Amino acid sequence: MTSPAPVSEIRIVADRLTKRFGDFVAVNAVSFEARAGEIIGFLGPNGAGKSTTIRILTGLLRPSGGQAIVAGFDVARSPERVRENIGYMSQKFSLYTDLTVMENLRFFGGVYGVNGARLEERLKFAIGMAGLTDRTDALVADLSGGWKQRLALGCAVLHEPAILFLDEPTSGVDPASRRRFWDLIYSLAGEGVCVVITTHYMDEAEYCNRIALINAGRLVALGSPSELKRRAIRGEILLVQGDNPGAMLEALEGAPAVRDVAPFGSSLHIVVDDAARDRPVIETLLKERELGWSRIEPIKPTLEDVFVQLIGADSARATAR
Amino acid sequence: MNLRRVKAIARKEIIQVWRDPRSLMVVLLMPLMQMALLGYGVNLDIKHVTICVFDREGSQESQSLMKAFQASAYFDIVEADHDYNAVKRAIDAGRCKMAIVIPPDFSQDLSTTNSSSVQAILDATDDNTANIALGYAQAVVGAFSANVQVERTQSLGQPPPVAPAVAQYRVWFNEDLVSRDFIIPGVVALVLALVGAQLTSLTLSREWERGTMEVLVSTPVTRMELMAGKILPYFFIGMLDAVLCLVIAVLWFETPFRGSVITLLLTTSLFLIVVLGLGYFISARIRSQIGASQIALVATLLPTTMLSGFAFPIDQMPGVIQAITYLVPARYYFMILKAIFLKGSGLADLITPIAFLAIYAVTIALLATRAFRKTLG
């Protein structure tokens, strides 16, 4: 229920949650808590275990180990009680395209057990939220991506769930629609809904209150975007743009002043202890190799830097093990 | 069980069937086509067997034997040949199934030795037809001999010979021995089994295939509610098809109907629940529509045609196969339909097959509910 809840109320507790498929460990002892009104983003490479984690939390997959309490119920023991309290948008668009907007909404209202005056009120809310007031009789197949996405969200919140799980909800949607979608998520979180979202868009991850960084099934880091940046990047970042980033990468890797270097598109991000002090050292290194650059300057670390740093370090540890 | 959820699912299902041309075709066209195809196509009566005759004598006796064949409804004389080569060609070419050859000394043997023989040459590529045709031919010749004997004794001024014992037979239930009257109830059972299982075989697999299942299973809907909501609309559609088939059977194919409509509807709904449950069970396990529909077809078509007593009598089967037929729901429904249509049996007479169907319905409902899991993978 979205009735104003104290922000401190814990909605999800995952305790060493584990999922194995045969020998493959898809989710490896993931523990975290999420609270009412919080937007927690699962970020990680494809196949890292983000969707699997969400599917365990929604009761779609049984955990192989550990425990998850969602909305006060154990997902393994009372999945039906959990399902009464959650809304879920799967990665794949999953409304009935051969039904109209209204037919879809009424169907989900029915299966979530919403009825009477409350149903009419919630239908109005969902239609308004999706911006489909004039198109309630349109077949869903005829709607464009952004509208479909908002309608799916509308269907998922008809029963005013305490927790909303969104598995890559904005993939394949244009930027304007994505922005609008996030406005809706913010307003839902503002009403006290706990939102768990997976994404691989770095800019979207910045919108989350907290980010759970997942790699190879493990929770690598958990914190607000700024916390993660502070923690992951001990040092400063220099951006170098040049004609031959490949050769530059080779030249700088393992150099004394360089703590880490990673390609970002056509440029490089170099992690150094002190940007002002180390910049001439790097310029000298590049000159020695006769590598030209068009731009070299200190930048603020982005989540992508954090991502590269933490995932890189984690993968290195995994290999060493 | 929350009836609102059941209603929401049933409503959605009806809208989807209504908007899906393929489902509509299964619902409406398939039963009509199958009734027509099987009702007309399957005919176990052997009549108008084409024969050629080779009369090597051309006497009055030989001609009257020919006439006896001609008069029989079972035979059509299509040609008269004058040598064995022509007979051989006629059979090889398939113009006739049987040839009757009368020997040159036919009437002479009859008068001198009191016995003669007639040759019948049969095309036994279809052994069943050949066997039955041979039986008919023996009957025609037998009747002819009896006549000759009667005439002979009369001409000698003696009393007609006394037959020591004659079987007087009376056929019940299908007085005219028309195989269609027996086949049509079987066709109704077959059509309902096929259509019923087809209808529900698509219902869960469609959700898996279109990706709507993942969100559906994340809702609080229970397995029982889902099954009830999914089967209910198809039950009404199935009953509609059943009434359609039964009306065609009675009005179009003129199958005699001697039982009560209530008994018929009650037993039909029981059978429908069984086949709908079977389709749902398959759908719960097979996540593609094509796959589920194929398996539903095989699971209903083969047992219903081969093992229900429709094509082959069950008491003629080897023991093991007979035991297997107890697992074929159409066996009971076919038995019930035949009894209601031809014998006019009531519920009390049919208690055994009804009990079997009821046990079947409960079992399949339990299996189908359990077969579906609200988890992925």
Q: Which residues of A touch B212 (CB under 8 A)?
A: 94-96
Over the stretch A46-84, which tens digit does the pLDDT of each residue have?
888 999 999 999 999 999 999 999 999 999 999 999 999
Pairing of strands A86-89, A163-167: parallel
Does residue B43 carry a pLDDT above 70? no
DSSP secondary structure string for all residues of A282-313: HHHHHHHTT--EEEEEEEPPPHHHHHHHHHHH
Phi, psi at residue A221, to the nearest 5°?
Answer: -155, 155
| Position A294, amino acid | S
Mean pLDDT (chain A) is 90
Closest by Cβ to A83, choosing from B213, B219, B376: B219
Does residue B163 carry a pLDDT above 50? yes
Q: Which residues of A touch B223 (CB under 8 A)?
A: none
Q: Sheet of A65-70: strands edge to edge?
A: A24-35, A10-21, A65-70, A73-74
Over the stretch B106-132, which tens digit does the pLDDT of each residue have?
888 888 877 788 899 998 888 878 888
The helix (H) or strand (E) run that includes residue B354 is: helix B351-371
Show which of residues 220-279 on chain B sit within 8 Å of chain A, judged by CB atoms. 220-222
Mean pLDDT (chain B) is 88
Does residue B376 carry a pLDDT above 80? no
Distance from CA of B5 to the nearest CA of A (A): 5
Does residue B354 carry a pLDDT above 90? yes
Residue of A96, A102, A139 to mutate, interface with B, max B Cβ within 10 Å: A96
Q: Which residues of B touch A88 (CB under 8 A)?
A: 214-215, 218
B211 contacts A60? CB cut-off 8 A = no
Does residue A96 carry a pLDDT above 60? yes
The confidence band for A7, taking pLDDT boundaries of 50, 70 and 90, is very low
What number is the average pLDDT over the span B44-62? 85
| Position B172, amino acid | W
Residue of B212, B215, B223 to mutate, interface with A, max A Cβ within 10 Å: B215
Over the stretch B211-249, which tens digit does the pLDDT of each residue have?
999 999 999 999 999 999 999 999 999 999 999 999 999
Does residue A125 carry a pLDDT above 70? yes
**Which of A117-126, A156-165, B64-73, B289-298 is the least confident region?**
B64-73
B218 contacts A58? CB cut-off 8 A = yes
**Angle A122-A124-A127 (CA atoms, 0-180°, nearest 5)?**
105
The confidence band for A8, taking pLDDT boundaries of 50, 70 and 90, is low
The Cα A175–Cα A182 span in angstroms is 11
3-class DSSP state for residue B58? coil
What number is the average pLDDT over the span B7-24? 90
The helix (H) or strand (E) run that includes residue A33 is: strand A24-35
List beta partners, residue A269: A239, A262
Closest by Cβ to A115, choosing from B4, B374, B377: B4
Over the stretch B97-107, which tens digit does the pLDDT of each residue have?
999 999 998 88
Flag whether residue B170 sits within 8 Å of chain A, measured between CB atoms: no
Give the pLDDT score at B309.
85
Other CB atoms within 10 A of residue B296 CB: 28
Per the model's pLDDT, the better-predicted residue between B167 and A278 turns out to be A278
Flag whether residue B12 sits within 8 Å of chain A, measured between CB atoms: yes
The helix (H) or strand (E) run that includes residue B273 is: helix B261-285
Report whether A270 contacts A253 (CB < 8 A): no
Nearest chain B residue to A115, by CA: B4
B5 contacts A113? CB cut-off 8 A = yes
Closest by Cβ to B218, choosing from A88, A92, A107: A88
Report whether B55 contacts B66 (CB < 8 A): yes
Flag whether residue A98 sits within 8 Å of chain B, measured between CB atoms: yes
Over the stretch A287-312, which tens digit does the pLDDT of each residue have?
888 888 889 999 888 888 888 888 88
Closest by Cβ to B12, choosing from A93, A97, A99: A99
Give the pLDDT score at A93.
85
Nearest chain A residue to B2, by CA: A113
Does residue B23 carry a pLDDT above 80? no
Per the model's pLDDT, the better-predicted residue between A315 and A123 turns out to be A123
Does residue A183 carry a pLDDT above 90? yes
Does residue B295 carry a pLDDT above 90? yes
User: Tokens 């023996």 belong to which residue?
Assistant: B138
Give the pLDDT score at B368.
92
Distance from CA of A192 to the nearest CA of B (A): 21
Give the pLDDT score at B45.
67
The confidence band for B60, taking pLDDT boundaries of 50, 70 and 90, is confident
Give the pLDDT score at B235.
95
Does residue B176 carry a pLDDT above 70? no
Does residue B328 carry a pLDDT above 70? yes
Give the pLDDT score at A2.
47
Does residue B146 carry a pLDDT above 80? yes
Over the stretch B249-292, which tens digit does the pLDDT of each residue have?
999 888 889 999 999 999 999 999 999 999 999 999 998 999 99
Flag whether residue A114 sits within 8 Å of chain B, measured between CB atoms: no
Closest by Cβ to B375, choosing from A61, A84, A98: A61
Helix pair A225-232, A303-320: axis angle to 10 deg: 50
Over the stretch A240-255, which tens digit does the pLDDT of each residue have?
998 888 888 888 888 8
Report whether B268 contacts B239 (CB < 8 A): yes
Closest by Cα among A60, A47, A56 to A15: A56
Q: Which residues of B touch A152 (CB under 8 A)?
A: 215
B376 contacts A55? CB cut-off 8 A = yes
Instruction: Read off the pTM.
Output: 0.79
Per the model's pLDDT, the better-predicted residue between B306 and B377 turns out to be B306
Does residue A106 carry a pLDDT above 90? yes
Distance from CA of B242 to the nearest CA of A (A): 28
Closest by Cβ to A110, choosing from B5, B214, B217: B5
